[in-house]
Amino acid sequence: ANTSLLKGYAHGTDRMHKALGLFQQMYASKNKRDHPNVRTLNTFLRGCLWQATTIVPTTDTDDNKHDDVCCGGVVASEAVWQLCQRKNKGKIEKNKLHFDGSSYEYSIQILCYALLVDRARARIQEMSEDVNVQSDESSFCEGMASAHVALARAYALLDRRKEGKNAANEAMSFVERISNKKDMIAAATSSEQDSKNAGPLRARTVGGKRAWSSNTKGDNNQRSNSNSLFRGHKISELKNEAKAILRYLEKEKKSRVDKTLMAKLLETRLIYLGGGGSTELNQTDDSNFSSPSPDRNSKQLRIQTMISNWFSFGLAASKEQNPMLPKLLDSDGRIANLGALEIIEKSKFLRGNLRKHTVIADDGVIDFSSVFVGVDGIERKKDSSKNETLPLCLELGAGSGDWIVSQAQTNRNANYVSVELRADRVAQTFSKSVINSSDCPLVNLCCVGSECVTFLKRIKAGTISKVFVNHPEPPLQTGTFEEADVVDGNEHAHMLNSSTLTAVAGCMKANGGGELIIVTDNRWYANLISKTLLKVMRERKVSLVSKDLNASELRQGERFQNVNGDIVQVYVGQPCEAIGHRRPSSFQGNGVSYFDRLWRTGAGSHAEVRDRFIIVMVSRSKSFKETTKGNKASEEVLNQQSQVKTRKVYKEKSDKKTKKKRSKSK
């Protein structure tokens, strides 16, 4: 029960301080059954991987002194790792918490994103010597490959060429070990079969990862095939990233980024406002999102972004300074609190940086003219007046950044901003803007870690030219694609809800100057998004109109319309120049993002392998003539239609339940 509660904290949004408090409480419990186990630890570490270090406001005051506490990310993960190491030094074997492959992998990834390479290298050594991890060769090789790629990436960002090449080559050797044994991936994804003793469904834990086995052969084969596709794809991605790092490190020194320039890029091209593992149910209501003022003023926000970069994204390491991680206070698991102001006072660099920090304006809005300012050593000139005129393009839910990095590299006449909830993906996008770019680094890309609406409320209204959303994660899918619907006040928990779409429309340039481009491989979700758009256009008076597209790569799909005359046209085909997707010169037809490449392998039960469903909405121009005015009569008709449909759905559900009861009684 405690582990489930901890998962809710750790995998939610900005609640790692509660997860840490619960972990400490479990650790100090006198009841041994309440002590954390390896699954508890891995759940906590995943939360630290997905949420960078942030500051938590404190309520206690002492002599009128107030200092926010740093929590989450590498600060929390290293504190908990120390607790578990202390627990494992005891003489009683049953009280020990043995790390598994996932424990090491999560911990190493967190350290590498923070550019704490010496700690990461030592942890990899511990992993290689742990007999519990070595017992499963396939998982061990995969974990070591992933760990060495992360280490090589961190060395590359610190411009430590020799160590980076060694780590990348080590990663390649582990990938080769897997490739040389064709059955290794299958072995890693298969569960132990024991159909004689197994119940209808059972779970087995290996290395902290859960695999399901069933007594139904067809279901088990389908799951095994899906897992095999995923694991094979992961190995392929690791191999490609290791090669990219090696190519970068082979460049001449003048073509690479040194630590001084890296620090400047972290100050201006990476902004972390908060994050987590998933969009929560309560995030479909506008009242749950913070606005720029007054609860969190500009100075507090500047401290927040600086602390996140300092600890979780390597700003301290790039400045060759000790990040000052917390230490244990006693054997009961108490951890010394890190005050944000205390950290700043101890660092001359942070004190000076806070005074000149201009990315966050005084009104709490992000100043993109300061974000995309020129930097010494980069080809972009320091004349910010030119940068202000460049189109500003966003990608919401940017994932690990493959697509937006390729777009920013292909189109230097626009500034791009990636927005992603998970901190590890923000770090990956930032590293790719340095390592994967032919012209190092990309100066027209800024990486933001935030929930979408929280970020959009910090953008000046009417300033965004294009908003891209590629392969957004659908909510829990039920029913056929025709049944996808939006019930008033009861929206699914997903990124493109009414609040997000309303906020997007408010940021877009007016009079046809702004576009919203959505691409998904899920037909059911495309229908749900279309109906959500119609809802906000009707209820919230959002001024958007569907764009007519005429391209050989696209054909018209389903068309949706409400009684106001608002239309959403879905197109079917492939993303192309007509919707603002630029094709990189190196494109080989295998997808331009991690998930696009994954779905092309056939993974995903609700995904199309080739076809994409595309929606393009444009800000309504003043010259646009509405075909139907939204008068009171039409509103009443729409409400009546909605009520009839709702009653029909409830009646169908009731009839199904009645039939089931009758069949059981017979």
Residue-level pLDDT at 339: 82
Residue-level pLDDT at 197: 40
- Lowest mean pLDDT, pick from 22-31, 274-283, 312-321: 274-283
| Structural contact between residues 207 and 139, judged by C-beta atoms closer than 8 angstroms | yes
At 620-660, the pLDDT tens digits run 876 554 433 444 444 444 445 444 444 454 556 566 656 66
Same domain assignment for residues 542 and 642: no
Same domain assignment for residues 383 and 405: yes
Q: What angle do CA 152, 155, 157 make, to 5 degrees?
A: 110
Classify residue 499: in a domain, yes or no.
yes
CATH number of the domain enclosing 410: 3.40.50.150
Q: Which residues of 517-532 are buried (b: 16+ CB within 10 A; e: fewer)?
A: bbbbbbbbbbbbbbeb
DSSP state of 481: G
Residue-level pLDDT at 486: 60
At 599-624, the pLDDT tens digits run 666 665 556 667 899 999 999 876 55
Residue identified by tokens 């430590």 is 160
Q: Compute the distance between CA of residue 530 and CA of residue 481 in angstroms, rounded to an integer.
A: 12
Same domain assignment for residues 481 and 392: yes
Classify residue 468: in a domain, yes or no.
yes
Determine if the pTM surpasses 0.75.
yes
Same domain assignment for residues 656 and 528: no
- Rg over alpha carbons for the chain, rounded to the nearest Å, is 26
- Lowest mean pLDDT, pick from 309-313, 342-346, 384-388: 384-388
Same domain assignment for residues 375 and 461: yes
Cβ neighbours of residue 562 under 8 Å, at least 6 residues apart? 534, 537, 538, 638
Mean pLDDT, to the nearest integer, of 151-163?
Answer: 96
Mean pLDDT, to the nearest integer, of 339-358?
Answer: 81
Smallest CA-to-CA distance from 412 within 390, 384, 440 is with 390
Position 651, amino acid: K
Q: Residue 30: which pLDDT band, with cuts at 50, 70 and 90?
A: confident
Classify residue 560: in a domain, yes or no.
yes
Same domain assignment for residues 664 and 586: no
Same domain assignment for residues 615 and 639: no
Classify residue 658: in a domain, yes or no.
yes
Residue-level pLDDT at 279: 58
Kindly tell me if the per-residue pLDDT of 423 is higher than 70.
yes
Same domain assignment for residues 573 and 656: no
Same domain assignment for residues 442 and 561: yes
Start-to-end CA distance of the chain, whole Å, equals: 39
Same domain assignment for residues 523 and 636: no
- Lowest mean pLDDT, pick from 354-368, 378-392, 453-467: 378-392
Same domain assignment for residues 483 and 526: yes
CA distances from 499 to 362, 457, 489 (A): 25, 11, 12
Q: Compute the distance between CA of residue 544 and CA of residue 510 in angstroms, rounded to an integer.
A: 10
Q: Compute the distance between CA of residue 199 and CA of residue 215 in angstroms, rounded to an integer.
A: 7
Q: Compute the distance between CA of residue 335 and CA of residue 343 in angstroms, rounded to an integer.
A: 16
Same domain assignment for residues 568 and 658: no
Q: Compute the distance between CA of residue 51 and CA of residue 492 in angstroms, rounded to an integer.
A: 23
Classify residue 470: in a domain, yes or no.
yes
- Lowest mean pLDDT, pick from 99-108, 473-482, 554-563, 611-620: 473-482
Kindly tell me if the per-residue pLDDT of 218 is higher than 70.
no
Classify residue 158: in a domain, yes or no.
no
Q: How crowded is residue 272: how many other Cβ atoms within 10 Å of its Cβ?
A: 25
Q: How many domains does the chain have?
A: 2
| Structural contact between residues 208 and 42, judged by C-beta atoms closer than 8 angstroms | yes
* Residue ranges making up the domain that contains 649: 631-666
Kindly tell me if the per-residue pLDDT of 309 is higher than 70.
yes
Classify residue 273: in a domain, yes or no.
no
Q: Mean of the per-residue pLDDT values for the chain? A: 80
Smallest CA-to-CA distance from 423 within 69, 120, 10 is with 10
Using a pLDDT cut of 70, give the percent of the chain over it: 73
Q: Compute the distance between CA of residue 343 and CA of residue 351 in angstroms, rounded to an integer.
A: 9
Kindly tell me if the per-residue pLDDT of 170 is higher than 90.
yes
Residue identified by tokens 């469903």 is 613
Kindly tell me if the per-residue pLDDT of 286 is higher than 80.
no
Classify residue 250: in a domain, yes or no.
no
Q: Compute the distance between CA of residue 329 and CA of residue 472 in angstroms, rounded to an integer.
A: 44
Q: DSSP string spanning 5-59? A: HHHHHHTSBS-HHHHHHHHHHHHH-SSGGGS--HHHHHHHHHHHHHS--EEE---
